[in-house]
Amino acid sequence: MSPSKPNVLASAAAGTQTLHRAVALLRLITANNRSGIRLVDLYRRVGIERPTAHRILQGMIAEQLIRQDETTKRYYLGPLLYEMGLAAAPKLSLRDICKPYLQSIADQTGDTVFMTVRSGFDNVCVARADGNFPIKLFILDVGRHRPLNIGATGLALLSALPDEEVDRICKVNVARTQRKNPRYSLAALQASIAETRRRGYATNKVFDSPAVMSVGMVIRYPDGTPAAAISVSTLATRLGKERTETVVNCLGDAIRSIEDELANLTKLY
């Protein structure tokens, strides 16, 4: 072996590690982009040393991937990511199709509406719309990742997958979520999936104080696979039996219209 080969391999490994760390930092900044995030929270949650995190962040600032507020010193996403996102957007933009329907649901219910899509074992919020109810529920920021077994949209997406895929995800995600909250047991999740499939929509208790509930339904592509999910979140006191039926009907009407648009657009492409 050439004497220089170990150095090349070590350099490649270090470069890969730096890339993984940069992506982990970007994910955290994305999830907290509404309020920004501090350096101390970034390096602690990623599990790296402060100087290493600071060096990577400074490099991303130089490339305009992120920015730092001069007053608060918090980090936010930068303009280059927006430009890259525009270039990466597919011809068939599901988010753009759904946004008018999200606002329509928010206007009809007065509540907060979220749209999420699957990302591996997680679901990520890609859009939201606010109704006119005076109490706004900022339970999920755009760009925030959560395990698929958490939240009404995640449960709706999970329940629409084949049983084999559901079992694979559940084995991983129950272990992830039980570390934070024992109530996320496998038995409870399996019962929720069965109930969601039976009813055609998912419900989820978000907070205990004040009590907040969400109702979610899945959007399917023309081939039947899950594309995204939409939920309505509101105070539990606003979701009695009659109003829950109203919300479910509102979601169902919007989703049927979205699926019709997807079917028509798929024919064009």
Q: Are 66 and 77 contacting, i.e. CB atoms less than 8 angstroms apart?
A: yes
Q: Are 115 and 127 contacting, i.e. CB atoms less than 8 angstroms apart?
A: yes
Structure confidence at residue 1 (pLDDT) = 46
pTM of the model: 0.68
Q: Give the integer Cα–Cα distance in Å for 83 and 81.
A: 5
Structure confidence at residue 113 (pLDDT) = 95
Q: Which domains does the chain have, with CATH numbers?
A: 5-85 (1.10.10.10), 92-268 (3.30.450.40)
Query: Which residues are CB-contacts of 151 (< 8 A; sequence separation ≥ 6)?
Result: 116, 123, 140, 204, 206, 214, 216, 231
Q: Where are the alpha helices (DSSP H) in the chain?
A: 5-31, 39-46, 50-62, 79-88, 94-109, 152-159, 163-178, 186-199, 241-268
pLDDT, tens digit, for every residue of 67-98? 999 899 999 998 888 777 766 655 557 888 99
pLDDT, tens digit, for every residue of 7-35? 655 556 667 888 999 999 998 898 788 88
Q: Give the integer Cα–Cα distance in Å for 17 and 7.
A: 15
Residues linked to residue 145 through DSSP beta bridges, in sequence order: 124
Structure confidence at residue 144 (pLDDT) = 82
What six digits make up the tokens of 123?
Answer: 């679901």
Q: Helix 5-31 vs helix 39-46: angle between axes, to the nearest 10 degrees?
A: 120
Question: Residue type for 131, please?
Answer: G
Quickly list DSSP for 91-121.
SS-HHHHHHHHHHHHHHHH-SEEEEEEEETT
Q: Are 29 and 143 contacting, i.e. CB atoms less than 8 angstroms apart?
A: no
Q: Give the integer Cα–Cα distance in Å for 204 and 158.
A: 13
pLDDT < 50: residue spans in the chain: 1-2
Structure confidence at residue 268 (pLDDT) = 58
What six digits make up the tokens of 13?
Answer: 């490994």
